[in-house]
Structure 1
């Protein structure tokens, strides 16, 4: 999961720079979404797995 965070951060910086220079808000939005998914994704996945395994034990 560490590599996902590093790749998303690098992708964010590259896309944000390109979007800023071209004055394209869609590219800047995509870069922000990459950052959001890269930083929040691993915690979401681990929480989902934990919650799913907890419901299997109860049933």
Structure 2
């Protein structure tokens, strides 16, 4: 089983050049795929981003 680094939108904004609000309102709906780039634990409203798949997507040619 793969190990992932779970990040909040604020923590993710410290690693990529986008603010947390933009991540939640734009990137989550357009670029990130639920189940691959982010999760909603316990079927809740909170979102947890997965760093490794996001980093892999950013580095792809």
- Higher relative contact order structure (alpha carbons within 8 Å, sequence separation ≥ 6): 2
Which protein has the bigger strand share?
Answer: 2
TM-score using structure 2 length: 0.25
Greater C-alpha radius of gyration: 1
TM-score using structure 1 length: 0.26
